[in-house]
Structure 1
Amino acid sequence: MSNFYCEYCGTKSASISNLTANSCHRHPSGPNQGKHKLYEGSEKSSYNCKYCGTTAPTIISLTGNSCHRHPSGTNKAKHSPTL
């Protein structure tokens, strides 16, 4: 069985439809201002931020922290996982 993850917050779901039907607490527009976005990369043993290279063991732990090199500004947005 495959797992599907939100790119913004790392929430895990057994189906894409269940994941994308729910609001995301880390959506870029604000908490619960949009739906989860499907992370389209594969499951990995660790995940890297596409802006600064920070590594974390899970998407949820990566996206839970602010990125010092994010295009929105230093620490103004969370890390984003590479595909």
Structure 2
Amino acid sequence: MSNFYCKHCGGKQSSISMLTSITCPRHPLGANKGKHALYEGSEKSQYACKNCGSKQSSISMLTSITCPRHPLGANKGKHEPAL
């Protein structure tokens, strides 16, 4: 069985439809102001931020930390997983 992950928070569901029907606590518009968005990459042992290269063992851990090279400015957004 495959797992599908949210690119904003690392939330996991067994189907895309289930994942994208639930609100996301780390949505860019604010907590629970939007639905989970599908992470389109594969499952990995480590996930890297597409802006700075920082690595963590899960999407959840990666997206919980602010990024020093975020497009909105240093530490003005969370790390974003690269595909």
- Normalised by the length of structure 1, the TM-score is 0.98
Q: What is the percent sequence identity of the aligned residues?
A: 60
Query: SS at 1:60's partner residue?
Result: helix
1:61-80, Cα deviation, whole Å (9 max, x unpaired)? 00010001000111111000
Residue segments in structure 2 that go unaligned for 5+ positions in a row = none
Q: Pairwise mapping of residues 44-83 of structure 1 onto structure 2 (< 5 A)?
A: 44-83=44-83
Aligned length: 83
- Normalised by the length of structure 2, the TM-score is 0.98
In the TM superposition, structure 1's runs of 4+ consecutive aligned residues that sit over 2 Å from their partners are none
Partner of 1:32 in structure 2? 32
Aligned-pair RMSD on alpha carbons?
A: 0.5
Q: 2:25 & 2:73 partners in 1: Cα distance? A: 20
